[in-house]
Chains A and B, each alone.
Chain A
Amino acid sequence: MKMLHPDQLDRFFASLAPTWELRLPILLPDGTRVIGCPNDAPHSLHGAPVAGKPTAAFFPQQSTLFTVTDGAIEEPPPADRPLFIVGFHPRDLACLRFIDRFFADGCRDDCYFRVRHGAAIGGLSGYCGPAGSLIPPAGGDCDVEFFWDRSSWLVIAYSATGNTLIADLPETAAPEAAELFPQLAAELPDENELLIRHASALLRANRVPDLFWADIGDRCIACTGCNLACPTCTCFGVQDWRSAQKTERSRMWDSCQLDGFMREAGGHNPLGSEAERTRRRIHHKLAADPEKWGEISCFLCGRCDSVCPTGIGIISVAREMVARFA
């Protein structure tokens, strides 16, 4: 295990810049923390999970698939340097693991892996949560984990890339991760874990009636914030952008909460009501994905509950579902 004092952070990150395209949680002037370029704003490793999809570096809001100039197709060039993204909380890492699997399955999505391949991931944990609260350690799912012990960052590598990244940091005599982390994780039982599993079981047993979805759907204002913030939402649309010089085909995040999401050319719409669309959003994560992937695809990052203006994020809906139908 290595150690990094807070006053060494800038120097450490600067030392990586020649080799890596670095992304860190940064603090915007309005107080929002997002993952961004360290040259754009001061870094901010302490606090709640960053706003927005932490997975957006690999599946951005808009990605160019190809451009055509004078009849010749050109794909986006590879990046000069691989990305090193620090700032994934353990639940974010679970989300990343899920969408890595999703984009690799079957037809491997080269648009995603063009950026993801070779990228390094840094997890954040320890007493760096809101107001110094403990974020349980990830213990894996990343190349390097930064654990804040209230005075320093304990730095643990989980891959060859991780070992290379932190090779120059000094060793520490702090407790071995293998001893420390399970103990800390056990101190933080998560009620929401039980809640979401309970809600999933209700849905899979078909014990949630349509009236419930009509009720939840009535509260949806179709702002699509839930989808746009969710790290495991991967739906997109494809469109062309034309200019005098070239045509670009790109994909852009889409939302299953919009009326046109599944409307077919013939006019038929399998998701033709807000009740159906709201059910789809929740059912997809808690019932369809467990059927397809063997695991619930909500990892309780809490972003949809934070952004939803009407209180129908997935944890809120699960809580209501369990209260009414358990």
Chain B
Amino acid sequence: MTATPGHTSLYLPIGCEIISVSDLTPGEKLFRIRRADGVPLGHLPGQFVQVSLLGWGEAPISVASSPTREGFFELGVRRAGTLTGAMHALKAGDTLGIRGPFGRAFDLSRLRGQNLILISGGCGLAPMRSLIQYCEDRPAEFGSIAILYGAKSPADRLFKDELAVWEASARFACSMTVDNISVGDCFSGSVGLITALIPPLAFNPDSTIAAIVGPPAMYRAVIAELHKKGLPSERIIVSLERQMRCGVGKCGHCSIEHLLCCQDGPVFWLNEIEHLRGAL
């Protein structure tokens, strides 16, 4: 697709080129992309884009790489429907459209100087990775950083190579768990729910912020464990998944009572949304 020069429409995608495609799991791929016009995406950790494939429509996908990694951006995409299925057939050199970045990012100004607990489950590691990479590239800006990650099985873990790097890094305290393990799986982490990784953590609630990205079923249980450790809702961040169709606050599909996930979120402070029906 070639975008009309100088266009201003909210709904016109920008042409992008796929630099590389790699397998994350049997059902998930990582796409490294750049804008065809060479302009940086200009995103912040936690934001998303509307990926556009002509003839297939659009889908909201979180940006999985940090803006500190220049010259490209990355999207981790699970094959879940027709558009993502068509995406999985793409290869390096193919083109697609992007609108965005959209949404509210992680509040880096409030995260700076704090100890961080970054908790993700399943596909939630993709958007969390944008923040982890940011912390990795700006280590002096943050205090201690704990990475907690849960997946269904060892094979379902995303970014296995990077997880190994983070585990080995002195900068991060990395804990992993899987729901199930099969005979022959090579996995050194724990088996069980991600909530089990929180009680052993030692942290000062006054200087710690936790961020959570994961499947809907994960939030309440993880938040309960954090509350038990004395971390108040004002120090907990959640990034929520909703079905954003437009990304610009108009289509109504991502409403959470009076808020719109695509504009007011997807990253929220927990105290902003915990009282809203259906938010968690």
Contacts and interface: CB of A to CB of B under 8 A. Distances in A.
B215 interface: yes
Contacts of A108: 10
A228 to B, nearest CB: 14
B258 interface: yes
A236 B59 contact: no
A235 B254 CA distance: 10
Contact of B58 (A238, A254, A289): A238
Contacts of B10: 107-111
A287 B57 CA distance: 32
B246 interface: yes
A174 B31 CA distance: 71
B253 A235 contact: yes
Contacts of B248: 106-107, 109
Contacts of A71: 1-2
B258 A66 contact: no
Contact of B243 (A72, A242, A262, A292): A262
A69 to B, nearest CB: 11
Contacts of B258: 287-289, 291-292
B246 A238 contact: yes
Interface residues of A, number: 48
Most chain-A Cβ atoms within 10 A of its Cβ — which of B78, B215, B245?
Answer: B245
Contact of A262 (B80, B84, B253): B253
B4 A266 contact: no
Contacts of A283: 257
Interface of B: 1-4, 7-12, 54-59, 78, 80-81, 84, 123, 215-216, 241-243, 245-246, 248-259, 263, 278
Interface of A: 65-66, 68, 71-75, 102-103, 105-111, 234-240, 242, 247, 249, 251, 254, 256, 261-266, 268, 270-271, 276, 280, 283-284, 287-289, 291-292
22 contacts: A65-B11, A66-B11, A74-B4, A108-B10, A111-B11, A235-B252, A236-B251, A237-B245, A240-B54, A242-B55, A249-B54, A261-B253, A262-B243, A262-B254, A263-B243, A264-B242, A265-B59, A265-B81, A265-B241, A271-B278, A280-B255, A287-B258
